[in-house]
Structure 1
């Protein structure tokens, strides 16, 4: 996971960590990415966002650089993380900005050999900035929800460059476009048949750019299958 911008102004936040010490936080997660968070391109560098970052799921996929300097174990070097989960309640809700980082991401902010020392602090003050997401060599992919059927279609949207988060999703069949509803996390649904081949039009969350993944959902699509497009922001 790369970011395409590194020298940006930062803002203060609070960071904690969860899950295994060197792990991906959770392979469930409130965005729907599942065990993909432990693999490239996420490579366990993820965060569960507090209220202001998770944004009821619309913040899923956004990329941030985080760094710490207040603790002696901090390296001061930025680490890029993706919002893939929600941190509900407690400080995650009361802090204005709260990152509950994976153990791997939290430790990555440390000096060499100091990851465990930094994690032992539990909660630290950090600096963060929003950065464009960049998934070199990858196109936007659509993972069809397991609950989809001939009269109901839902899909996870992943590997979105740029803003990372999505504000609108539409399904195109023939000459007509039908708006999908945000279901949860990075999953969108349509309460109508999708026969395929079908196109999907995405609108990015901040810049409001649009792209069309033409005929990305084939005829005979299957629940649980992932279909990669040939486009990205």
Structure 2
């Protein structure tokens, strides 16, 4: 998945085992054999551990190091998410006595932590949590909401907001505002209006043609 990876890389230090409880430590990439044929001194090294192919939004990585028969371990928490690439609110549609709002939130993960909110003039008119979605891939979300139209709705601004709440980390996205208008037509209303206009144009052309024929006939008799 091509989404943003936030992680903490844990570096563990292997503690040397020293005879006699000596507190001295020697740093070396490789243990070197000292003179006199005695056994090599233990060394302290560092190693990096990289997590690959993350498939969940939150996971624990455990690392263990064994030195001189002593094993030590530690855990790192990795959180993965992808904030909304875009939040798009379509122009409001007035059909009958209802306004219909349709909001698109694209390329977001994890969806189950997403909350989509619609606001009118800054006030929340609808909010929905998508916690029922448990998919492990990027997703596009579309929210559709209809509400009764009122005379004072004219000119009011509506916006769509998307929030990812990840254990206190909030990722936010919002759409451009759209104005409510009683002049906004639905697809069915546009089709009806187009039919009416076409019929009116046909009537006008027929009347004009009849008038023209009458005029030409009078001219020929004169």
TM-score, normalized by the shorter chain, greater than 0.5? no
Q: How does the TM-score come out when normalised to structure 1?
A: 0.30
RCO higher in 1 or 2 (8 Å CA, sep ≥ 6)? 1
Q: How does the TM-score come out when normalised to structure 2?
A: 0.31
1 or 2, which has the higher helix percentage? Answer: 2
